[in-house]
Structure 1
Amino acid sequence: MEFGWNADDLEFRADLNEFLSEELSGRWHGSTAVLGSPENADYSRRFCGLLADRGWLTPHWPKEHGGVEASPWRLSILSEELWSRGEPRGPQYMNVNWIGPSLMAYGTSEQMARYLPPISRGEVIWCQGFSESEAGSDLASLRTNAVLDGSEYIVNGSKLWTSYADLADHCYLLVRTGDGRQEGISVLLIDMDRPGIEVRKISGVVGEHSFNEVLISDLRVPVANRLGPENGGWKVVREALSYERVGAPRWARASRVLNETMQWALENGRAPSPDVLESVDIASEACEAARLLYYRVIDERAQGKPPTPNGNVARVAMVQAERAVAEACLAIQGAEVMRYQGLANQQIRKSLAAGVAAGTYEIQLNLISRLLLRLPKG
């Protein structure tokens, strides 16, 4: 048995790389438009439109919704190459990879007709209204409530750490509609320009802004905007989160940054010391481990298997890779690396929060110990 990319996959990667080399000029890599900025969002809309024109924005979607039913492996090639260049899809990454599929799985025909075409054309930005001040990793403790009033819900509460909320057209909002924990949660699809929504920016500790607080006061949402059954939102969101937990192939960006930083050192006469070379070796091995563990999850998807704890393992490995590469870059360039805009600068900044977004690193370890290793709680 031969393990490797087939001829069609190799041709697709070559075509994609040629396109990206032409479209992602030095303006993109050297841009000061940080993630979460209006400039980044504008670039995302333009770039995603170009991907859509080539059938590369939602290739994994069914044909009736604008896709070509590409395999998980083909999608992984697309994600790898985009993430290795700093993910120019920006805030639209969530749209195409789990909000759209969630709509296809649980949405009504009217919801799909309204929301899916703009996503597949790269025209809109969504945010996810999940976390709250008292409901982060323990999402089932959320308190934002929705009370039924005729044909509408009246929503009150707040969401925290909501990426892109200040730029988003729509929000995939988790609310409490009943008693219990998981049993009383529903999903609402809301327009961010409705009366009753206030977005407050949260400044980042690393000089970037992408997080927001969303305050919701007497927001009226039609029942027709509920995704899935009332009080059945936990199942809907669990399926969505199962694909977010492994996360994007961030090891691809980390690996590229490591190689480019080493090349910079050689070109500038910075001969690495043995200690620096050791940190580079550790980072390189971490990236390779993350890549292989990520591929294991992709293989499970390709076989149609349900999500397993292997996704948690891959998620942990990618956090380790990101942190190891950031440490290696600092060892090679020192503080000088932060003077330049580009992927290395982004890598170091993002590594600081790598173990928090999409499920904290420590909780992923707890899940692995319980679900995979069968260790007792304690």
Structure 2
Amino acid sequence: MADAPEPIEGFRAEARAWLAEHFPPELKGKDNAMSAVEGPGELTEAEARWKATMGAKGWGVPTWPAQYGGGGLSRAEARVLSEEMARIGAWNPIGGMGVMMFGPTLLEYGSEAQKAEHIPPIARGEVRWCQGYSEPNAGSDLANVQTFAADDDHYVVNGQKTWTSGGQWADKCFALVRTDKGHKHGGISFLLIDMDAPGVETRPIRLISGQSPFCETFFTDVRVPKANLVGREGQGWEIGTRLLQHERSSLSGGGGSAGRMLAGKPLAAMAKEYRGDADGRIADADLRGRIVRHEMEMRAFALTLRRAALDAKSNSGPSATSSIMKNVGARITQERAELAIEIMGMQGLGWEGEGFAEEELAQTRTWLWGKAVSIYGGSTEIQNNVIAKRILGMGAKA
């Protein structure tokens, strides 16, 4: 009698069968439309069906607790699910800031009532969240936030946020607000605000790339229920810092913009197309060497990301090392964009008009957009400070 299969292999068979039954084959290899920064857009019938099916199963957030609509899977099972999805070209239709940042933070700090209210819609991909952190005078010095929440029978919020990613499309906002003007860090609280509440206004910011994924957001006498306070008053800096670790972990690789760029067309293939000879060889030795070094660094980074992700899960969440990953990911992302433009030559500098392929015009915008990667989510300089103080222990008193 043959030995019974290992439990993880039993789950692999289950996942493979479920995906074969439910994943629409016409979506194979397509990008996740729901994670696009440019806005929600219209889903095709197949995309909408796949999103609803994955959301109902809970596998869009596979390791989140089943009681809140997650998959309830172990880390090993989630890894197997990812492998099986990759095998058939399937992608996760559940994403956004609710999954990347707010959900994991609320699972740690939220009340049972808050988790029961907000986590299931995130797990099903039904609600879009945006982040209310930066202000005109509180960017690098985030603790200087001045958006004030006056304490009444409700919180009454007045102030301004900027660089609100997707704010014009979001349903809800998780925000750092000041509830005590007498303390800098200790006067900050973490508040959940409905974006359709009276007094909330968004104004999209047009970027050099031609896109408008960010907003200025204004709050004028916005009434927010007391039940929307996460944690206690004055705990916002602690909660907000924890959320930033989740954000930087996502931005450094698979869950964020850097990850999507790293997953693009290999530079070697691009160079053979634009700079190759009749046999497809890259004649420029210097360019060839830089491409090889970049590809090696990118692969090493991907492996390090995977190890860091496993460490984060085993240690109950991301740590300050996410700052290292964020900085390295930003540098590799920008280097890739620069190399791609160099490889394409004049064909990589087009903005519109005839004579340029769609991917060439997209590369121009990607190159311009990529300049922000080392700024948003905490600038490279801020991450260097975090690394110096929290990892290397520099500046600590003896």
On whether the aligned pair clears a TM of 0.5, the verdict is yes
Inter-partner Cα distance in structure 2 for 1:64 and 1:136? 37
Of stretches 232-241 and 34-43 in structure 1, the one that deviates more from structure 2 is: 34-43
For residue 253 of structure 1, what is the aligned residue in structure 2? 260
Residue 337 of structure 2 is aligned with which of 323, 326, 337?
326
1:23 aligned residue: 27
State the distance in 2 between where 1:14 and 1:316 align.
Answer: 39
Letter in 2 for 1:93: G
Any idea what SS the aligned residue of 2:323 has? helix
Gaps of 5+ in 2: 1-7, 351-355
* Corresponding position of 2:166: 164
Are 1:177 and 2:184 an aligned pair? no
Give the aligned partner of residue 270 of structure 1: 276
- CA distance in 1 between counterparts of 2:235 and 2:387 reads 26
- Provide TM-score, normalisation by structure 2: 0.78
Which residue of 1 is the match for residue 241 of structure 2?
238
Number of corresponding residues: 363
Aligned residue number for residue 380 of structure 2: 361
Cα deviation digits, residues 277-298 of structure 1 (max 9, x gap): 1221232123123213312321
Bigger drift between 58-67 and 114-123 goes to 114-123
- 1:140 maps to which residue? 143
The aligned counterpart of 1:205 is 208
- Deviation, 1:88, is 7.5
- Answer 1 or 2: higher relative contact order, Cα 8 Å, separation at least 6: 1
Question: Which residue of 2 is the match for residue 196 of structure 1?
Answer: 199
Q: 1:40 offset after TM fit, Å?
A: 7.1
The residue matched to 1:244 in structure 2 has which SS? helix
Q: CA deviation at 1:247?
A: 2.5
Tell me: CA distance 1:350–1:44, structure 2 relative to 1, closer, same or farther (3 Å). Answer: farther
Q: Is the Cα contact below 8 Å between 1:276 and 1:331 reproduced in 2?
A: no
| Counterpart Cα distance in 2 of 1:20 and 1:346 | 31
* In structure 2, distance between residues paired with 1:117 and 1:223: 21
Post-superposition Cα deviations, 1:63-118, rounded to whole Å, max 9, x if no partner, equal 10112233456657859x89xx9x9858x421123312222223233323322222
- Counterpart CA distance in 1 for 2:163 and 2:43 is 18
Query: How far apart in 1 are the matches of 2:25 and 2:202?
Result: 36
Cα distance in 2 for partners of 1:71, 1:120 equals 16
Secondary structure at 2:70's aligned position in 1? coil
- Matched-pair identity in %: 30
Are the structure 2 counterparts of residues 202 and 288 from structure 1 closer, same or farther at C-alpha, using a change threshold of 3 Å? Answer: same
Per-residue CA deviations over 1:170-200 (Å, capped at 9, x if unaligned) read 1111110012112111111111111111100
The answer on 1:101 being equivalent to 2:104 is: yes
Q: Return the alpha-carbon distance in structure 2 between the equivalents of residues 20 and 348 of structure 1.
A: 33
Q: 1:52 aligns with which of 52, 55, 80?
A: 55
1:166 deviation in Å? 0.2
- Asked if 2 retains the 8 angstrom alpha-carbon contact of 1:257 and 1:347, the reply is no
Contact 2:389 2:395 in 1 (8 A): yes
Pick closer, same or farther for the CA change 1:122–1:284 going to 2, 3 Å: same
Kept in 2: contact 1:202–1:211 (CA 8 A)? yes
In the alignment, residue 254 of structure 1 is paired with which amino acid?
A: M
**Number of the residue aligned with 1:229:** 232
Distance 1:230 1:44 in 2: 44
The two structures, once aligned, show a CA RMSD in angstroms of: 3.6
Q: Which residue of 2 aligns with 1:309?
A: 320
Distance 2:147 2:63 in 1: 33
Shift of the alpha carbon at 1:42? 9.0
TM-score, length-scaled by structure 1: 0.82
Which one has a bigger Cα radius of gyration?
2
Q: Tell me, in whole angstroms, the C-alpha distance in 1 between the residues paired with 2:77 and 2:131.
A: 26
Report if the CA contact (8 A) 2:96-2:129 is conserved. no
Q: Is the 8 A contact 1:59 1:70 kept in 2?
A: yes
Q: Unmatched 5+ residue regions in structure 1?
A: 1-5
Which of 152, 155, 175 is 2:154 aligned to?
Answer: 152
